[in-house]
Amino acid sequence: MTRPGRVAPTVVRNGDVELSCTVVGDGPLVVMVMGTGSPGRVWHAHQQPALVKAGFRVVTFDNRGIAPSSECADGFSMADMVADTAVVVEHFGGPALVVGTSMGARIAQELALSRPELVRAAAMLGTYGRSTPLLTAYNEGERALIDAGQKLPDAFHAAITAHMNLSPTTLADDRSARDWLDIIGFGGQSQSAGVRAQLALPERDENRLASYGGITRPCLVVGFADDRTLPVFLAREVADAIPGAQYEEIADAGHFGYIEQPAAVNTVLLDFLAAHRD
């Protein structure tokens, strides 16, 4: 039974894989793609309501690896996740305006490159086109913890997550820092087999910047000025690689910029989507 005030999910299938989707609003289609380890409902805090209010039909979904979508614990590829997103766009009547963050931004880039007929325009937040030695080491560490069946102490996990994903400006305010630590702690540590499979994408370390010169759809790249997880120079590289891409940078924002500075993010996102809604 659906709880009052909630929208019943729509299940979209890509072969044997089930993708749990939520669609709200009327108007031009926007499909939003979340990052590693996070469910699609993260968009519901700030971006989905703003887009619906602006007259868009917004689809969010749980990527494979994130229940209740198929976890696919045996592993999968970035190409599989791009194909999932393509199926979602087709199911809801694309082409779509596609918005992604982090890993979801990379999916949006690859979709715009491989299936341009499905993408009206694409916006990528906190994105990257290649790995770095530090990113590779961090990813390997996350996988090693899961493989060893170990978790960080909850307070330490919250502190590390806040440090890696929030701006020093946010964390300099003691009340704000305590609130964020509580929120992160409440969310717990996601160590499911599906998340482990997302962390092990075989293409994760591949340098795709040269290929992005072939993207022909209008693109917005949003960098978060204080992003420690995917430093802002990586987003600038993507913008430089995509012909004609628009680049915007959000001040006082870390990797969670879309929930840390939602007003600023929504302003640049809505301006871009409005310019390409027809």
Beta bridge partners, 58, equal 24, 30
Which residues are catalytically annotated?
Answer: 102, 227, 255
- 225-262 residues labelled b (16+ CB within 10 A) or e (exposed): bbbbbbbbebbebbbebbeebbebbbebbbbbbbbbbb
* Rounded Cα gap, residues 278 and 268, in angstroms: 18
Paired tokens of 202 = 């075989």
* Rounded Cα gap, residues 259 and 34, in angstroms: 13
Q: Is residue 186 within 8 Å of 161, Cβ to Cβ?
A: no
* Rounded Cα gap, residues 116 and 112, in angstroms: 5
Q: Compute φ and ψ for 31, nearest 5 degrees.
A: -110, 125
